[in-house]
Structure formats: structure tokens, C-alpha cells
Structure 1
Amino acid sequence: MGVKITELVSATRKTPPIASLMNKSIAIDTFNWLYSFLSSIRLSEGSMLQDDQGLATSHISGFFLRNIYLLENRIKPIYVFDGKPSDLKKTTLAKRAEVRDAAVKKSEDAKEEGDIEGARKFAEAGVHLEKYMIEDCKVLFKLMGIPYIEAPAEGEAQAAHLVNKGVVDKAVSQDYDCFLFGARSLLRNLTQQKVRHIRGKNYPIELESYDLETVLKHLGITREQLIDLGILIGTDFNPGIKGIGPKTALKYMQEHGSIENLYDKKPDLASHLPMDVVQSVRKVFLEPDVTDTYKLVVEPFDTDGLVEFLCKSKKFDEKRVKTRIAAMQRELKKAAQHSLDSFLAT
């Protein structure tokens, strides 16, 4: 879910055209998109797309089309997979699992009652990630010539590390945790879709770009203080203090500078969020478990292998798949006058 600071950073948001990312490299928080595809790509009654073995293919459809969109716009993606979660995250993960289990039950009940809209709504909230889904993604990325990295811990931390080391230009995630991990530049809403459907309403989607330095200057705080702000309102690694929202937390950081100084003035708050927890969560963001030991293996775009995987194995419509690939290749040839393989290899 990530730290909820949209209302604080929205004034710094830029909405650049997709063309501004031409020839840029990006590090993508894979699981962020994976959960999104599994949740949103559904049949009318809420069930996911499936192959003839009953295995979900919604994620494959989502990543295939998103990757085509990135490549035909000459954007160079690198996917980052999460590694082992921090022990501090176990409570959050357990709560999420409970919510998802409850949503699955509500979806099944709604379906039995003939409530198709309710069945879909609850099904979207009941996503369970299976190991085969992750392996599907890796196969797909390899066939499309897109490299990926397996992070030792948080994917967002590794993406931020890649940005700050100059390996890529920008991190991509819907969550603002990338800023707490120190990412200099963040993209949100990197999608080919123009409208998002939420509870029967349509909302326009615009590509969003944020710069950490601009965000901190706008808020009048440091990155360390932004981390403390996040800890006060709650992160994936700790519950926040009830009654403290983003604006109040920002005010506290601007006035007191740190959680220690805040507790000196308001000692009752310490009982809700002990300093040992604060220090542990700070360490997650300030000293993240990341790696420089990886190989960015770029395979040639394998059209035949991709068609075999999508259409023979996963039962996608062959004509549609081939048509979409051909359209991308024509676009790249027209725009850049070189082959897809040479584009990916540069």
C-alpha cells in the first residue's frame, strides 16, 4: 500500500507526455503492477482470465500489453522483484491476507446471490499471489527481451538504489515509499490506459512525475524528516499513531524536526509508537538491503517464442497477439529506423 502522502506531494506533480521518456531507462516495482493486473483484469463476474488448466493469466495479459506500450515508446524497462520481506512487515502482510480472504468469501457469497457487481468488487480485493504467477512474469520478460533483477528485500528499495546509482533514470511505482528509500525521481501512472474505473465512475489517468528534491523543498523538510513523517502516519513496517494524519505529521516535523524532539514535547505519544520501533523502521529506509550483484541480461525479442508461450501454452488469441507485436515493430521501425533488437541492446 505504501505511505499515504498524496495530499502533501500533489502540488509538486508534473504531468509530462509519454514522449519525454523516449530512450529513458526505468526500474519498475514489479509486484506493484502485478497486484494491479491481477485485481483489475477480470471477467464481468469477477473471475480472472485463465488458461485451459484453470491457472490465472490476467497478469500475463497486463504485462504483455504494458510492455508493448513501453517498447513502442522506446522506453527501456527493468523489472525489480521483491525478495524476502522484513520481519517488521509480517504484521502488515498478515493483515492484508486476512482482508483478502474475507474479500474472497464476500465475492463468493455475492456470486451465489446473483450480485455480479458485488462479486467483481470483492474479487478485485481478494487477490492472492501464487508462485507460478511470478515465474510466468519472468518467462514473459525474457521472451520480450526485458531484463529483471531479484532484490534481496524490498523491490522499491532496489529500484531507488538503481536510480541513485545512475543505472536507470527513474523509478516506477504507485507507492511513495520510493521517496522514503531515497529515489531521486519517481513515475506514477505509467500506463497505456487513459481512464480508471472506480466504483462505477471514470477518472482520467495522467502520467505523473515527481522529483524528491522538489518534494522536500516544497514541504520544507529533509528526507530523514520525511521518513519520520511516514512513520508517524504509518508505513508497511509499522502502524502509525491514531489521530495523526499527513498534515499533522508534516506540521510536527516542521516544528520539532524529529520524532525524538516531538516526544520531548508530547511524551504521551511515545506510548503509541515506542522509539525502538521508530529506530528499526528508520533503518529499513536509511539502510535498505539492496544489491549491486546482478546481471542485466537483455535477450533478443523472441517473437516465435512469445507466440508459443502466449498462444499455445496460455491460450491467448494468436491473431491478436501477432497483430499487436507487428504494430509495435512497425512503430519502432518508423520512429527509430532500426530493429527492435538493436533498440534493446543499446
Structure 2
Amino acid sequence: MGVGGKFWELLKPYARNEGFDFLRNKRVAVDLSYWIVQHGNAVKIPALKPHLRLTFFRTINLFSKFGAFPVFIVDGTPSPLKSEARIARFFRSAGIELTSLPVVEKGVSVERNRAFSRYVQECVELVELLGMPVLKAKGEAEALCAQLNNEGHVDACITADSDAFLFGAKCVIKCFQSNSKEPFECYNMSDIEAGLGLKRKHLIAISLLVGNDHDISGVQGIGVDTALRFVQAFSEDDILNRLHEIGNGNSSQFPNIIMSPDTSAEMDGNSPKTKQPHCFFCGHPGSKRDHTKSSCENCNTNDDEGCVRKPEGFKCDCFSCDMKRKQKGLKKLENWHTKICHKIAKEPDFPKDEIIKMYLCNDNGYFSANNGPRISWGRPDTEMLIEFLNFHQHWDPSYIRQQIFPMMSTIFLRDMASTPVESLLFGQYEFDSIKRVKIRNGNRVYVVKWKRAVGNATCIIPSNESGIQEESEDVRELDESIDILDDSDVPEIHVDQGYSFLLTDENTDLVTAAFPAEAERFKREQELKELKGKNPTPRSRKNENSASPNSRDIQLNITEFFRSTKVQNQPKQREDLDKNLDIEQKGTSKVKRKASSSNLSKSARRRLLFN
């Protein structure tokens, strides 16, 4: 979608990977159709109406996990040019000749797919129940996203349609990378301009040459690399006018931006017409006869040694040779430019003014330029949302409340940070304390404990014994294996001293702003724990020093073990040896030799040692 060819690959080197907090407290325009098209790839398991499921979880995570304020943009009526291009793309993918393409009446727009339109309408109803603002574009959704970004109403656009740059977008978030400390793949127009020297009209010119959503053909024989090289030779204010001139058959003018003063002087006839004679032996200016008597000044040798033979691949850098090389390169570039101009001139009705006018239009929404769009965020309509998802997704009400709890807790903390009031989350839960710090993809978050207020008989989230987790760590590393935007942060259930609590992951700055006293107390506790771990108490040191070698809690090395065992078994060994000596004196000489302590076998001594 967007500019044809490998346009995204052209921009890829200038992408930035931004961290978790990149969108915090920022307004972002979301191309809703882009999310709906993605649902087939994003949902890995069979699901009922996956477009609703993906939109539900992504909206909650974008709002609560990343702290953004999303504004959803939906498509309006497609332009007739895009309708023709859509039909042509379908025929091309099906292998049908474009000569069989039905002719669409001029000015008539083909309606979008009915099933897709129904998906869009269902998603619009869902995000409105979640309290998110929705704006409808007159034409393309990415056009209104770009306009809002260009005029400063939003800070970024979330879309994979590269047309957003042509409509004037300044910051485009193309995709999200899971299991990454920098999940957002972000493209800034300032980086593209600094790296490629391209501005908005340059990008429009490239789309006209390689094709776009409104003209899939472009100019035959011109790809992205060729189009880039061609448009870079012109300034932004000049490129579109030059395309009109070339399209009308006037390609005699050579782009002045690549003409250096030296090459201009050469074309004016101020440079030498003929090349100076050069010595075939050393390659420097002058004839061989001049170099026979003495070496030339360029060889830097003694007079009696003569010139030095030129190496293989030698190129003279004298003024005459340098001008000849420039003239040759300029001629080659001029021939290439003329060849491209001929290809452009062959295209009928090039460039199309309707496409240029559409890209440069700054009236893509149903609002006036003076007043601007009305954008506001509200609270989720919990009961209506439960009925909606229960009908379309067949989800249990308790499951729905679990999923939207992180969103409600984020709204509650924001309200407490701006205007502190005595209220309850969900009408049932109150802030209890900060339990620990969690490290998630390199990002620190607080795990907050929410306690059900006394006097409420009902609990919106039923406790599940299998889901109870006792955590004693202060800092915990969480390994994620699925998409960060499609995964849901279900609150954990924690039981402490007979009371049930809900645990949610919250932004540290947001918790600190909402409950500064609790955050300060938690920080002091962490500092005390760290100090206690670094400096053990004197009593513990005394216990360490007074521990005896024979203590069961101390593991001895093998040398100490054998030494202590021998000391314990020494009296017993002596008694056994005395008995053996008495037997030897009374018995035969053979028995005496075997019983001698100095002649005991190794195995016998080992049995005596461990007896």
C-alpha cells in the first residue's frame, strides 16, 4: 500500500527504534483500516471476529501500557482514481490482461467491500465504547492522519501506508517489534530529508514515476532507485514543474543543480578544446622527446635517472585530463537524463494533476481549518461494552472486566494526578500500596496493589485459586514471547493475610504523581533493604566468626574432613591394634605377619578409619 516499488526499503536506513515511553502522554492518529487488514497476521489462534479482538486489545495496551492517547481515523469515500487502481490491481494479481479492464465512468467512485465496511463499523462502535475519539476522513484515512500530524493536532501517525509522507506526515510509526526494549519502528521526515535530501514534493514525484495507490503503473522502466536519482537533481520547488515540462515533450533543459562552475565553463567554451600531449612512458604532460634529456617535474627524480614508468591504471590529474573526464561524465549523465525524459514523455497524460492536487490538499476531514477537529477522550461505558463484546465475542462479563481493568486503573491514576479526589477504582477498589518493581523489556514499572473497599459485597473480578501467585521479590524480570501490542495485561490476584488484592503494572511516573507519599515511602524501604544487604549486622558477623569447625551447618573441605575424622577415630584404632597384637603373639608366625600394624593392607586401614 502506498508508493510502489521498494519504497519502504529506500527509507529503512533512516528509521529509528524508539523505547517504551516514546508515546507516553502523546496523541497518535491510528489508521483503523490498517489494523483491520492486519488481523489475519496478528491473531495466531482461531478467534471469533478477530478484527474486534485485535482492536480491543491494541486499544487497551496503547492507552494503558504505553500511555498514548489514540485518535482513530476511518476512511471516507474513495477517489475514482483509487477505484480504478484497485480494479487494475485485482486484474493484475489474477493474471488477467489489463486490456480487459472495465472502464469506470469518470468521477464515479466504486464502493468498498461490504464485509470490510461492516468490520470497520463494528470496530468504530467498539472504540467509541472504550471512550476513544473517532474521526472520519473525506477520502483516505492516512491523508487525514498526515494532516493532523502536519498541523500539530497529533504527535505521530500509526500506519503502514507510505502515502502518509506524501500527504504531509512528519512522524510515522510503521510497526511494533515484540520482545524489544525499543519496540516502535519510527520514521521522521526530518531524518529522510537529512539522509536523502528529499522533501514532500520530491516524494510525490517519486510516487508518480514508480506508481502509487491511484496509478499503479507509473512510468514503464523506472524503478525506485532510478526515480530517486532523477528527482535528486532538482529542487523541491522545481521538480513538479519540470515533470510537467518533460511530460509535454520539453526535455531540452538539463538540471542546473548538478552543473558545477567548471563544467558550466567548459560548456561555454572557456576550457581547452584539445587535450595536451602526454608522455607515453610516465603519463605526465609533455612529449617523450622533452623527457629524454631530463626527467619531468612531476616524476621528482634526478636528471640522470630520467622519468619513472607509469603504473598500471595510472590517471593523470592535470587540468586538461581532469576537464576531459568531467566532460565525459557530464555527457554520460546527460544521455542518461535524456533517456529517462524520453520514457516519461511516452506516458500519456503525465503527470496527472488530480493525483498531485490530492496529495497537496490540506482539507481531508470534516472540520474547518480555523476551529480544528474536536478531539476528546472519555471513560469506557462498561455495561454497554460488556453487552457488545458478549454479543459479538461471546466473552464472559467477568473476563471483559478483567481485560479493561488496566485501562480503568490508568484513567484513575491520571485523574488522581490532576485533581485528587476520594474515589474508588471501578467503584470497588482503592489504592493500597506499591508491592515491587518489575523490569519489563528493560522498562521499570510499579506493581500496584488494589484492595477491595470494605462494604462492597460484590467483586467484579472473581478470585481464582489457580491464579494466585505469592511474590516476595522486589524486582522481577518478565520474559515476553508474544506481541507487546496484542498481549493483554490481566491483573494478578494476590492473597495476603486473608485479604484479596489485585496487582497491575503501572507507570512509575504516573503512580508517583498520583500518590507521591506512597511512592516516597516505597523508595525509602527499597533504600533500607539495599543498605541492609550491603552491610550485615554485627551479630551476624559474630555468629560467623564463632562457628565451630564441627558445626553441621558448615561444609568442610576434603582435607579438613579427613583430618577431623582421623582425630575422632584415633582411640578406637589404638584399641583394635592392641587386640591384634595379642592375637599375633598367641597365634602362628603367619598370623603374626598379617596382624602387624605396619603391614596392614590399604583396605584394612580404610575399614578401621571409617568404623
Name which structure has the greater RCO, CA cutoff 8 Å, separation 6+: 1
Contact residue 19 and residue 182 of structure 2 kept, 8 A: no
Query: What is the aligned partner in structure 2 of residue 234 from structure 1?
Result: 211
Q: Give 5+ residue unaligned stretches, structure 2.
A: 96-112, 252-337, 368-372, 418-423, 427-509, 511-611
Q: Pick from 213, 232, 241: which aligns with 1:254? A: 232
Q: Is residue 2:171 matched to residue 1:185? A: yes
Query: What is the aligned partner in structure 1 of residue 54 from structure 2?
Result: 62
What secondary structure is seen at the aligned counterpart in 2 of 1:235? coil
Deviation of the 1:93 alpha carbon:
1.8
**Once the two structures are aligned, what percentage of the paired residues are identical?**
26
Which amino acid in structure 2 is aligned with residue 7 of structure 1?
A: E
C-alpha distance 262-317 of structure 1, shift in aligned 2 (>3 A) = farther
Q: Is residue 2:323 matched to residue 1:244? A: no
C-alpha distance 336-243 of structure 1, shift in aligned 2 (>3 A) = farther
Query: What is the aligned partner in structure 2 of residue 304 from structure 1?
Result: 383
Deviation of the 1:43 alpha carbon:
4.8
What secondary structure is seen at the aligned counterpart in 1 of 2:394? coil
C-alpha distance 92-324 of structure 1, shift in aligned 2 (>3 A) = same
Contact residue 42 and residue 58 of structure 1 kept, 8 A: no
Contact residue 144 and residue 302 of structure 1 kept, 8 A: yes
Contact residue 100 and residue 128 of structure 1 kept, 8 A: no
CA distance in 2, matches of 1:96, 1:307: 40
Contact residue 219 and residue 344 of structure 2 kept, 8 A: no
Query: What is the aligned partner in structure 2 of residue 279 from structure 1?
Result: 353
Contact residue 332 and residue 340 of structure 1 kept, 8 A: no
Query: What is the aligned partner in structure 2 of residue 115 from structure 1?
Result: none
Query: What is the aligned partner in structure 2 of residue 19 from structure 1?
Result: 21
What TM-score do the two structures reach when normalised by structure 1? Answer: 0.76
Contact residue 246 and residue 344 of structure 2 kept, 8 A: no
CA distance in 2, matches of 1:334, 1:299: 14
Task: Report how many residues are paired.
Answer: 299
| Greater helix content | 1
Which amino acid in structure 1 is aligned with residue 143 of structure 2?
A: A
Deviation of the 1:213 alpha carbon:
2.3
**Which shifted more, 27-36 or 288-297?**
288-297
Deviation of the 1:38 alpha carbon:
4.5
* 1:138-177 alignment runs, 5 A limit: 138-177=124-163
CA distance in 2, matches of 1:177, 1:337: 40
Contact residue 189 and residue 205 of structure 1 kept, 8 A: no
Q: Pick from 105, 116, 120: which aligns with 1:134? A: 120
CA distance in 2, matches of 1:295, 1:178: 21
C-alpha distance 11-334 of structure 1, shift in aligned 2 (>3 A) = same
C-alpha distance 182-304 of structure 1, shift in aligned 2 (>3 A) = same
**Which shifted more, 298-307 or 28-37?**
298-307
Which amino acid in structure 2 is aligned with residue 233 of structure 1?
A: V
The CA deviation string for residues 222-244 of structure 1, in whole angstroms up to 9 with x for no partner, is 32111101111111011222332
C-alpha distance 172-227 of structure 1, shift in aligned 2 (>3 A) = same
C-alpha distance 298-21 of structure 1, shift in aligned 2 (>3 A) = closer
What TM-score do the two structures reach when normalised by structure 2? Answer: 0.45
Deviation of the 1:181 alpha carbon:
0.5
Q: Pick from 209, 217, 220: which aligns with 2:197? A: 220
CA distance in 2, matches of 1:148, 1:38: 23
Deviation of the 1:17 alpha carbon:
0.8
Which amino acid in structure 2 is aligned with residue 287 of structure 1?
A: C
What secondary structure is seen at the aligned counterpart in 2 of 1:225? helix
What secondary structure is seen at the aligned counterpart in 2 of 1:182? coil
C-alpha distance 74-327 of structure 1, shift in aligned 2 (>3 A) = same
Query: What is the aligned partner in structure 2 of residue 75 from structure 1?
Result: 68
C-alpha distance 251-146 of structure 1, shift in aligned 2 (>3 A) = same
CA distance in 2, matches of 1:146, 1:336: 17
What secondary structure is seen at the aligned counterpart in 1 of 2:172? strand
CA distance in 2, matches of 1:41, 1:97: 25
Which amino acid in structure 1 is aligned with residue 75 of structure 2?
A: D
Q: Is residue 2:405 matched to residue 1:326? A: yes
Contact residue 145 and residue 298 of structure 1 kept, 8 A: yes
Query: What is the aligned partner in structure 2 of residue 314 from structure 1?
Result: 393
The CA deviation string for residues 303-326 of structure 1, in whole angstroms up to 9 with x for no partner, is 222122112343135444322212
